[in-house]
Each structure stands twice: as C-alpha cells, then as structure tokens.
C-alpha cells in the first residue's frame, strides 16, 4: 500500500505483514506503527497509527476480500 511518491514520504508508505489465517497487518515504514481502527472494529471509526501487537488485535489486522465489480 502506498500513498504518495518519493523518499521523503515514508510516513505515507506501508508494508504488509502476514498475521493469522489470511489476515494482514499494515505497518508504516516511517513510524513502525500499524494501521489500527480507533476504538474497536466496525463502520465509522477513524483509522490511526498505533503500536503493533505481537499476534495482532482485532482492530489492527485486515482480511483482504474480493468484491465483484457491479454496475
């Protein structure tokens, strides 16, 4: 995952780490923190950078899903 280009934008670059059973953690290259859902899981919560947990908490692991394109 990358947002922005150039060597000075490490705060906008992410790497995916495998977590459990097909889930991934996204870690910021600049801060070393993980992409996290503030306050828990669900719709409407803000995305933040937060300390990564060793096994991955429910609000800092992500499951990629495929959704068919519909018109």
Question: Long-range contacts: 4-12, Cβ < 8 Å, 24+?
Answer: none
Q: What is the pLDDT of residue 32?
A: 92
Q: What is the pLDDT of residue 2?
A: 44
Tell me the pTM.
Answer: 0.72
Cα–Cα distances (Å) from 41 to 12, 27, 30, 34, in that order, read 22, 18, 24, 15
**Token pair of 21 as six digits:** 């059973």
What pLDDT tens digit does each residue of the chain (71 aa) get? Answer: 444 455 556 667 899 988 888 899 999 999 999 999 998 887 888 999 999 887 778 888 999 888 888 77
Q: Other C-beta atoms within 10 Å of 62: how many? A: 18
């Amino acid at each position: 995952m990358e947002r922005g280009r150039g060597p000075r934008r490490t705060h906008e670059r992410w790497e995916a780490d495998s977590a459990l059973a097909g889930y991934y953690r996204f870690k910021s290259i600049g801060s070393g923190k993980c992409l996290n859902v503030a306050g828990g899981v669900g719709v409407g919560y803000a995305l933040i950078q937060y300390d990564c947990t060793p096994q991955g908490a429910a609000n800092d692991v992500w499951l990629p899903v495929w959704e068919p394109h519909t018109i």
